Amino acid sequence: MSSDSTEAGPPPGETTPRRFGNAPVFGLLAIGVVAVLFTLGWGTWMLNYTGAGYNVPHQVIAWDTPSETSASITFEVNASAPTNCLITALDETHVEVGQDEVELSEGISTVEHTFDTTRQASMVEVTSCRERSPE
């Protein structure tokens, strides 16, 4: 046996290509960066969409649809600043048939509000209560 037969590796002049190179490292790094950016973007969007920090706690006490063209709701709000509450009436297919906005002062308030609808409502809800922006 010659010394050439005991050498490991490819014959002289040939190189063995790396099977994947650095692709797995860069691929995992890219996936990690995309995941972080997605999470930060989604979190920011959710905070802005829900209005975190601006929502005012409210509790619906009762609602009624006394006629085909009106709806009423009684709800309680605990506001630390002047507040606007958006009230929505929906029909049996969840289509909006009426909407109104109620302006409230700060403090605990029990509100009874009646508003017009385009047709018979089957549900009335407080969609949101948010602090008014300072003027």
Query: 42-80, pLDDT tens digit by residue?
Result: 888 777 665 555 678 889 999 999 999 999 999 999 988
pTM for the predicted model, two decimal places? 0.60
Q: Which residues lie across from 45 on neighbouring strands?
A: none
Q: What is the pLDDT of residue 25?
A: 76
Q: What is the pLDDT of residue 113?
A: 94
Q: Is residue 22 scored above 80 in pLDDT? A: no
Cβ–Cβ < 8 Å for 87, 126? yes
Q: What is the pLDDT of residue 56?
A: 84
Q: What is the pLDDT of residue 53?
A: 56
Query: 99-129, pLDDT tens digit by residue?
Result: 999 999 989 999 999 999 999 999 999 998 9
Q: What is the pLDDT of residue 74?
A: 95
Q: Is residue 7 scored above 60 in pLDDT? A: no
CA distances from 94 to 8, 39, 73, 105, 125 (A): 75, 32, 17, 31, 12
Q: What is the pLDDT of residue 24?
A: 73
Q: What is the pLDDT of residue 4?
A: 53
d(CA 27, CA 133) in angstroms, rounded, equals: 46
